[in-house]
Amino acid sequence: MTIFPTKKVIEVKDLHVHFYTYAGVVKAISGVSFEIYEGETFCLVGETGCGKSVTSRALTRLIESPGRIVKGRIIFYRDSGPVDIMTLSEEELREIRGREIAYIFQDPTAALDPLYTVGYQIAETMVAHRTADWREAFRKAINILKSVIMPDPERRVKNYPHELSGGMRQRVVIGVSLSNRPKLLIADEPTTNLDVTIQAQILDLLRKLKKNEQMTLLLITHNMGVVAEMCTRVAVMYAGKIVELGPVIDVFKDPRHPYTRGLLRAVPNPLGKVERLESIPGTVPNLIYPPPGCRFHPRCPYMMEVCKSKEPPMVDLGEGRKVACWLYVK
């Protein structure tokens, strides 16, 4: 099952994002590097505030003030050749956003404009990127709604967002993002606001679309179950850093970083019989004053002297697995 595709879609190198707040500088992302390959579903997983959403938004420089990308390179492999997103002008970037890299955000109600019909909003994306004129775009909108399995698409295309349920709105948002057949689709907690039976349907839809459209998917979630069912490779984030990265089956079967282990043991598996959940003591650190050394050391059961002062390097374990932990440094 584990595939190692070779063609890169995007590559992030040593990304740093800071937020300049009144309380101090929040180091939301500190040195994140990864690459996403064509056709895979890459997952960023972690708890609130670990930087997974910020990372995904930074990919097209969607970081608003007081935030700033302070360092790093983001190489996007376009059909015409690789470009560094960091060096592009705002205009060139707009060409990529919504056309080659599209987003699905968590809250479909906020993502849709209440004053326009859903058909208009799907068509608008195509017109804005000049992939269709209005007449054609409206016609295509119905097909797009069909492809996201919206019941009764001919009628729904004329509906306003408030006339649809949460699940249907998320289908529309997915439709909008797919309208230009993007190379990379970034889904940021696409099912967090939805009920489980609706979540299952949306995940199923994403899986189908990915297969039919040969899309690459970056999925951001905090739900380990969603990771297990959807992803090819996973990166676990903690306090603004990637602590472990690898093929999803291997990481779940044999997690190496103490945080990954803790996280997996803290989620009750509804199929298994668990007498007692293991919890990770303490809480996520404040990123204005992150702990020195390894950011997980105050909560880590395997903490050593070196962890308190020196940041662990990313150790390559082979077979596509990496871990940032002193336990694996020889």
Partner 1 sequence: MSETLIKVVNLKKYFPIRGIFFTKARVKAVDGVTFDIRRGETLGLVGESGCGKTTTGRLILRLLKPTAGHVYFEGKDVFKLKGEELKKFRKSAQIILQDPYTSLNPRMTVFEIINEALEVHKMKISDKEEFIVNWLRKVGLEKHHLYRYPHEFSGGQRQRIAIVRALVINPKFVILDEPTSALDVSVQAQILNMLKDFQREMSLTYLFISHDLGIVKYMSTRIAVMYLGKIVELAPADELFEKPQHPYSQMLLASIPIPDPEYALKKPKVRVYGEPPSPINPPPGCRFHPRCEHVMEICSKEEPPFIEVERDHYVACWLYAKR
Does position 303 interact with partner 1 (CB under 8 A)? The reply is no
* E-only strand ranges, the chain: 8-21, 24-37, 41-45, 67-78, 81-84, 101-104, 184-188, 216-221, 233-238, 241-247, 314-318, 321-324
From the list 118, 176, 203, 205, which residue makes contact with partner 1 (rule: CB under 8 A)? 203
Q: Which is nearer to partner 1, 186 or 226 (CB)?
A: 226
The torsion defined by the Cα of 64, 216, 209 and 260, in degrees rounded to 10, comes to -80
Instruction: Examine residue 147 and tell whether it contacts partner 1 (CB under 8 A).
Output: no
Residue 107 in the binding site for partner 1 (CB under 8 A): no
Q: Which two tokens stand for residue 90?
A: 């705002």
What does the alpha-carbon distance between residue 186 and residue 105 come to, in Å, rounded to a whole number? 8
Contact call for residue 65 and partner 1 (CB under 8 A): no
Of residues 6, 65, 80, 283, which one binds partner 1 by CB under 8 A? 283
Q: Which residues of 203-225 are buried (b: 16+ CB within 10 A; e: fewer)?
A: bebbeebbeeeebbbbbbbbebe
Q: Could you say whether residue 23 binds partner 1 (CB under 8 A)?
A: no
User: How many angstroms separate the CA atoms of 310 and 226, rounded?
Assistant: 34
Nearer to partner 1, 72 or 108 (CB): 108
By CB under 8 A, tell whether 225 contacts partner 1. Answer: yes
Answer yes or no whether residue 291 interacts with partner 1 by CB under 8 A.
no
Give min distance, CB of 230 to partner 1, in A: 8
Rounded Cα distance, 265 and 293, in Å = 25
Q: Is the N-terminal amide bond of 66 cis, ω within 30° of 0? A: yes
Please identify, using beta-carbon distances, which residue of 49 and 293 lies nearer to partner 1: 49
Q: Partners of 315 in the beta sheet?
A: 323
* Nearest residue (CB) to partner 1, 268 versus 313: 268
Dihedral sign for Cα atoms in the order 21, 64, 203, 8: negative
Among 229, 254, 316, 319, which residue interacts with partner 1 (rule: CB under 8 A)?
229
Binding residue for partner 1 (CB under 8 A) from 9, 36, 219, 248?
A: 248
Stretch of 18-26, 97-105, 178-186, 191-199 contacting partner 1, by CB under 8 A: 191-199
Residue 152 binds to partner 1 (criterion: CB under 8 A): no
Are the CB atoms for 134 and 141 separated by under 8 Å? Answer: no
The residues that touch partner 1, with contacts defined as CB under 8 A, are 1, 47-48, 165, 167-168, 195-201, 203-204, 222-229, 231, 248-249, 252-253, 262-271, 273-274, 276-281, 283-284
